[in-house]
Structure 1
């Protein structure tokens, strides 16, 4: 039975309630409750794979967490924080915001991305966007927020210290330890070591790579690997990756310049990200881009294209190249398609079909898993990084999120080994009571998915 009508946090209560992104990767939507108010952290989407029926009764291509619980009590919603501009953290907000109609807090880069998204919905003038400088502070209802610079695969990623009269939560959002990122400053341990003095009630932590031992590799290591591979090529090179990874795109810009190639972007999402990066000062002046329509006229050894569609998405630029239906380029025998991205679980069939089409064209392919060099690096922490951060912060409770059940279990084991006294594992709809008496109330709230237009 869902006792949702009576879920109003009192002045001594501190609650965490995930509606999306706990027990799955993607579609993050988190709520914190205290003193009669709620704070939302992130509002993202996930992408449905039509080749795997049965995972969801909804067959829409783009889905979001069902916000019904908080939409019904939006007068209690003090505000929405967006930690960074990845789709699984920001993508649903343009569509769901009318149900909340409250202020949105984010850094300038996320605000630029959000405004571009809102312009397509016609609601751009209505949404109050409050820009917070990276590493800044703000108050939202009874919540005091310290924004903490952390490293991830997009500009201005932020972790959050959420302080209330009932306790404090350290919300990591997406992160890794990168001592040499391409954009932003290196990871600073002292920022997080200082949290140990704050007596953190709970640390809500990214679990994406919790099954992997050791440490993730730096974005700079990926740049050197991409240069090593591309510098030996005589044919066209098409690199496919995530459009939001500005650091990777900058690396490829440097590779293009060093190897005497022209860089072109294929895909609206990628062009949009680079435009936002330019506006916010993250795109280097010495990396020129050529018009996509010019690529077909260049000698093969002068072409470097970055294309959307690393997950085999049927409408993305790479799939159109594989079908020889792209307006700007026809791939030829011995051209190279390099995948600078991980294969997201569930997309195996789509990628396999894409690879078959490229093989039929006698186009060579190189995937991350088949290359001895790190032509892709993750933006998420391995076990070594999780261990360090738990030891720095020393929370009383660890709450792993942003992962499937196996990832969450592995993250909890790391926390236990690092000396965290309590580990709470759960899924969307579970109410994590952090104060006054810590416990987990399973399935306190009904959750689900809804379709969104994208």
Structure 2
């Protein structure tokens, strides 16, 4: 009997939304050949990851086995699925397979980081398949909020696995292929061992709505507007961008695309043939000569990003254009949990200008790109897999999805990041646990989440910082008084004296009475100086700052 096994190992995206990275392996334990599905990012926030540029999955376990990785397959071009490709290509230098639109985006990311664009190989939709080690993989079209999304049909020696990717069941998606239930039924009729499935909207009880349903409401809103109209959505949602542009065009407005990501996505969609008939656009410079009531701007920044076009417009002029009282700003998007403060900040800034802000609180101007609970059930019914492995969701989503599958007669299992699942038997089982986590892109350097860099940054942000400098002569006696520099601390404490002077006075008194043994030992001296600074600061300002001690000795 063969002791080879089929395994599934999420390294990101299972137990969270974002940073997707899913590993499949086949072979003898500890000798499997692997393919990786998606390699994405998630985004930092000032509360938990101040100063960090991007958050990437921790692929240390995979890097140690990179010689057994045969290929990477990208389901679609959202940042949480493709955004880490260029950052890890040096560690995982294998072919990257994707459909044309996604491949266009991935190549751009690789070339920006100095990697060869030839690493990305374009694959046509099903029934074309790619051989990668023991796997044969095909791209099965599925609708989502970005063009040319695909599920993956993964044929293995132990049977067929379908990895859904992000999906919705949309018969009229405006851009891209509609959901084809007959094709999915055909692909599934020979039996599917496991469906690894999107769980994002498992708690939404109503069937999802089509992208095509938004046109009339958006068109009426734009038609009724009196001043300039500005709308934001996810730049990658090319279908929505087209719907907005067409609404503006029918209202007799000139269309302006603002924001690098917005222009890049539209250009990529046009270059790869997935977008046609897009209204003519004018440049921001040309728009300055057009009456504002005849303008519609489509801008980036639907999540309140500080440097995006929406936030820039809320603070003043952007590329020569400015919003004024009586203008209309439309958020044709859903606010991702965690981004509420940034979005509300932009809304309030517009309100102060007298701009009318319309969001999607009534559901008229946005539809989700993910399948709701009835749509997930419908996909289960079409595929009828032996096992359902929920992915792309927080733990509560995965657990609810697994319960749903089990109630419908399928084996459902919750597999979070680092949990290796053996799919070879009749029932999925946990084979082992792998350490996973996060990697921070901090400037141009990748650092581990446990390296302490971000932790120390947070501590400085919370507590402030004091630098203490002491000079000792050849006899280990203080040469002059110690001095302090502070950052992020109040200048005056409870004694009404300057904080720096109080700190220096207490430190000077300590040095004047310190024993020779203490003055000779850098470690002991540093510990005492730090203790005094923290105690004095606590008494003066109610804070225990981070302290750096610099001891210089004359020899």
- Inter-CA distance 211–59: structure 2 relative to 1 (3 Å threshold): farther
Instruction: Tell me the equivalent position of 1:396.
Output: 386
The 1:199–1:240 alpha-carbon spacing in structure 2 relative to 1, beyond 3 Å, is same
Q: 1:131 — aligned with what?
A: 122
- SS of 1:297's partner is coil
- Mapping 1:262-273, distance limit 5 Å: 262-273=254-265
Q: What displacement does 1:139 show?
A: 1.1
Deviations 1:137-185 (A, max 9, x none): 1111110112211111111111011111123211000110001110123
Residue correspondence of structure 1 range 187-266 to structure 2 within 5 A:
187-266=179-258
Aligned-residue offset at 1:364: 1.0
Task: Write the distance in 2 (CA, Å) between the matches of 1:448 and 1:49.
Answer: 17
| 1:45 corresponds to | 41
TM-score after normalising by structure 2: 0.76
Structure 1 segment 8-407 matched on structure 2, within 5 A: 12-35=4-27, 36-50=32-46, 52-53=47-48, 60-125=52-117, 127-135=118-126, 136-285=128-277, 287-369=279-361, 371=362, 374-407=364-397
Per mean C-alpha deviation after superposition, the further-off stretch among 166-175 and 287-296 is: 287-296
Matched residue pairs, number? Answer: 437
**Partners in 1 of 2:78 and 2:310 — Cα distance?**
20
Residue number in structure 2 paired with 1:427: 416
Task: Tell me, yes or no, if structure 1 residue 415 matches structure 2 residue 398.
Answer: no
- Given the superposition, is the C-alpha separation of residues 95 and 260 from structure 1 closer, same or farther in structure 2, using an over 3 Å criterion? same
CA change 1:346–1:108 in 2 (3 A) is: same
Structure with larger RCO (C-alpha < 8 A, sep 6+): 1
Is 2:99–2:139's contact at 8 Å kept on the other side of the alignment?
no
Aligned to 2:486: none
Q: Matched residue of 1:110: which SS?
A: helix
What SS class does the counterpart of residue 24 from structure 2 fall into?
strand
Structure 1 unmatched runs, 5+: 1-9
Q: Residue 209 and residue 30 in structure 1: after superposition, are their counterparts in 2 closer, same or farther (change >3 A)?
A: same
Aligned-residue offset at 1:11? 6.2
Structure 1 residues 13 and 194: CA distance shift in structure 2, 3 A: same
Deviation of 1:12 (Å): 2.7
Whether the aligned pair in 2 keeps the contact of 1:203 and 1:397 (CA below 8 Å) is: yes
Aligned position for 2:434: 445
Secondary structure of the structure 2 residue equivalent to 1:381: coil
SS at match of 1:388: helix
Match of 2:482 in 1: none
Output the CA distance in 2 between the equivalents of 1:119 and 1:137.
26
Inter-partner Cα distance in structure 2 for 1:79 and 1:436 = 25
CA–CA distance in 2 between the matches of 1:191 and 1:374? 31
Q: Distance in 2 between matches of 1:64 and 1:179?
A: 34
Q: Determine the C-alpha separation between the residues in 2 that align with 1:204 and 1:68.
A: 23
Equivalent residue number for residue 525 of structure 2: none
Q: Give the Cα–Cα distance (whole angstroms) in 2 for the partners of residues 19 and 380 of structure 1.
A: 21
Change (3 A) 1:123 1:307: same
1:306, CA displacement in angstroms?
0.9
Shift of 1:325: 4.2
Report if the CA contact (8 A) 2:104-2:268 is conserved.
Answer: yes
Q: 1:351 to 1:286 in 2, by over 3 A?
A: closer
Question: Aligned partners of 1:449, 1:95: CA distance in 2, in Å?
Answer: 13
Compared with structure 1, are the counterparts of its residues 388 and 298 closer, same or farther at alpha carbon in structure 2 (3 Å cutoff)? Answer: same
Contact 1:383 1:414 (C-alpha < 8 Å) held by counterparts: no
Three-state SS of the structure 1 residue aligned to 2:416 is: coil
Deviations 1:232-259 (A, max 9, x none): 1111111111000111111122112211
Secondary structure, counterpart of 1:100 in structure 2:
coil
Structure 2: which 5+ runs fail to align? 445-555
For residues 281-307 of structure 1, the C-alpha deviation after alignment (integer angstroms, 9 at most, x for no partner) is: 233245111112222332122111111
Question: Using the alignment, how far apart are the partners of 2:432 and 2:422 within structure 1?
Answer: 13
1:335-379: CA deviation from partner (whole Å, max 9, x where unpaired)? 11100111101111111211121111111111101x3x5201111
Q: Secondary structure at the match of 1:265?
A: strand
Contact 2:154 2:161 in 1 (8 A): yes
> Is the 1:163–1:169 Cα contact (8 Å) retained in structure 2?
yes
Deviations 1:361-412 (CA, angstroms, capped at 9, x unpaired) = 111111101x3x5201111000110000001111111111101122212222
Q: Call closer, same or farther: CA 1:410–1:297 in 2, change over 3 Å.
A: farther
